Amino acid sequence: MTVFQHLDFDAHETVVFAHDEPSGLNAIIAIHSSALGPAAGGCRVWTYPTEGAALADALRLSRGMTFKNAAAGLDLGGGKAVIMLAEGQKKTPELMRAFGRAVERLNGAYTTAEDVGVTPADMAEVRSQTRHVAGLATGAHASGDPSPVTATGVFQSIRTGVREVTGREDLAGLHVAVQGLGHVGTALCDRLAAAGAQLTVADIAPARCDEARARYGATVVAPDRIHATDCDVFAPCALGGVLSEDTIPELRARLVAGAANNQLARDDLDTVLAARGITYLPDFVVNAGGIMNVAAEIAGVDDPNWVKGKLDGLQERVTEILRRAKTSGKTPQAVAVEMVRERLAAAGERSVAS
Ligand code: NAD
């Protein structure tokens, strides 16, 4: 396994390998950039096939956080942690506390929160060892589960995207295919159904599909066919890598906008989507509602209007990205990356000057 030559290394500032014998902790904390402020991003608990796979995940996710935080207009850098569970190893309070001590040793350079496989209760264990943690259920400025706010950002982005691409102002009768009915997917379906959208859904958990059928009158399709639904909007809200060389030719939606991180299986596939006339809203822009909620907790802000203002800013950004893409002939992804690089470069110049 290589680190500095790793394909996903991309000039990370700091990568920490944290180990604790008694609890069985093996974790990687990756800080990609602190140009805009101390790094913030979730902690994922997962059983990886190899250490290399865990490192790749940490590197890709932390770089993604740099982009997400920058695009969201937050003064936070990009970081992420993964805790590697061995086959059969269970997540325990001791493990989470050991992870908390590893975060504490970074002295505030990285603030952690929930990601896949982690609950607010786990974060409470982390909090017993470090104050550099957010997404807590209780305590001063606690912001709780970020998923509903993520879903609001995705919903609003779909509305903005539909308006910019088709000129339609409302979502009544719009057909949306939602992949993944977890925390974000379900909250997104709630908002879409309330707006009168028609839903087709898929999840690997049959009970979640039954619930969606009962709650929204949704049509249920197989998880490996949802991307091919003949619909207006495809909203990936499950795992990354869903937009691939295999799936893109089968898409029938005009717009893709969803919560899943790293939806493009390869960075350059945005051009393949564009060539098919499909507008892809960059995931790191669209799914930033949750980190905005976490950022309020980090900053100690209790006023809900602060997060609402950030969400409004997100829609201004989506509009600007789509308009710049239209006039420049670039993809929305390329425009969003350009905007992030402009912000990072300006911050770099400021920090050199100050
Ligand atoms: P979750 O674990 O609550 O839900 C994921 C759902 O996807 C589950 O119901 C699972 O059964 C389903 N699923 C897994 N594989 C599937 C497949 N192949 N086909 C269909 N369904 C499948 O996760 P979540 O918090 O809802 O997050 C969803 C995605 O959004 C993740 O990629 C996450 O990284 C990303 N995201 C979440 C947040 C947040 O605030 N929770 C913020 C930003 C990004």
Per DSSP, what are the bridge partners of residue 14?
31
Residue matched to tokens 């949750």: 290
Ligand 1, pocket residues at CB < 6 Å: 116, 146-147, 150, 179-185, 202-205, 208, 223, 237-239, 259-261, 287, 290
Residue 150 Cα: closest atom of ligand 1: 40
* Sequence ranges of the chain with CATH classification 3.40.50.720: 147-288+317-339
* Sequence ranges of the chain with CATH classification 3.40.50.10860: 14-64+77-127
Q: Which of 219, 220, 253, 259 is nearest to 237 (CA)?
A: 259
Encode pLDDT of 197-219 as tens digits: 999 999 999 999 999 999 999 99
Instruction: State the pLDDT at residue 75.
Output: 95
Is 280 in a helix, a strand, or coil? strand
Q: Two tokens at 242?
A: 């869903």
Residue pair 45/117 in contact (Cβ under 8 Å)? The answer is: yes
Who's near 126: CB < 8 A, 6+ residues apart? 43, 96, 97, 99, 100, 103, 112, 133
Ligand 1 centre and the CA of 147: distance in Å? 10
Residue 151 Cα: closest atom of ligand 1: 40
Residue 181 Cα: closest atom of ligand 1: 9
Per DSSP, what are the bridge partners of residue 339?
none
CA distance to 31, 91, 228, per residue, from 28 (Å): 10, 16, 36
CATH for 147-288+317-339 is 3.40.50.720
Per DSSP, what are the bridge partners of residue 83?
27, 45
Q: Two tokens at 342?
A: 């402009």
Alpha-helical regions (H) of 279-303: 283-286, 289-299
Encode pLDDT of 154-168 as tens digits: 999 999 999 999 999
Which residue has the least CA distance to atom 27 on ligand 1?
Answer: 184
* Mean pLDDT of all residues in 44-50: 96
Who's near 289: CB < 8 A, 6+ residues apart? 146, 149, 150, 151, 152, 153, 154, 307, 311, 314
Q: For residues 80 and 29, what is the distance between their CA atoms, to the nearest angstrom?
A: 6
249 alpha carbon, distance to own chain's centre: 24
The architecture that CATH gives domain 14-64+77-127 is 3-Layer(aba) Sandwich (3.40)
* Whether residue 2 has pLDDT greater than 90: no
Ligand 1 centre and the CA of 127: distance in Å? 24
Residue 90 is among the residues annotated as catalytic for this protein: no
Task: Choose one of 44, 122, 147, 154 to mutate for the ligand 1 pocket test, by most ligand atoms within 8 angstroms of C-beta.
Answer: 147
Q: For residues 51 and 56, what is the distance between their CA atoms, to the nearest angstrom?
A: 9
Encode pLDDT of 57-99 as tens digits: 999 999 999 999 999 999 999 999 999 999 999 999 999 999 9
Q: What is the ipTM of this complex?
A: 0.99
Fill in the amino acid letter for 257: A
Which residue has the least CA distance to atom 5 on ligand 1?
Answer: 182
Instruction: State the pLDDT at residue 349.
Output: 61
Q: Which of 261, 232, 227 is nearest to 246 (CA)?
A: 227
CA distance to 99, 111, 113, 177, per residue, from 106 (Å): 11, 9, 15, 42
Instruction: State the pLDDT at residue 323.
Output: 98
pLDDT-derived band at 350 (thresholds 50, 70, 90) equals low
Task: Write b or e for each residue in 174-198: b if 16 or more Cβ atoms lie within 10 A of its Cβ, otherwise e.
Answer: bbbbbbbbebbbbbbbebbbebebb
Among residues 80, 91, 310, 326, which one is catalytic?
A: 80
Residue pair 251/226 in contact (Cβ under 8 Å)? The answer is: no
* Mean pLDDT of all residues in 135-154: 91
* Whether residue 54 has pLDDT greater than 80: yes
Task: Choose one of 82, 116, 209 to mutate for the ligand 1 pocket test, by most ligand atoms within 8 angstroms of C-beta.
Answer: 116
Instruction: State the pLDDT at residue 304.
Output: 87
Encode pLDDT of 293-349 as tens digits: 999 999 999 998 999 999 999 999 999 999 999 999 999 999 999 999 999 999 876
CA distance to 56, 61, 243, 262, 354, per residue, from 285 (Å): 22, 14, 16, 11, 29
Instruction: State the pLDDT at residue 6.
Output: 78
Task: Choose one of 44, 154, 204, 263 to mutate for the ligand 1 pocket test, by most ligand atoms within 8 angstroms of C-beta.
Answer: 204
* Whether residue 177 has pLDDT greater than 90: yes
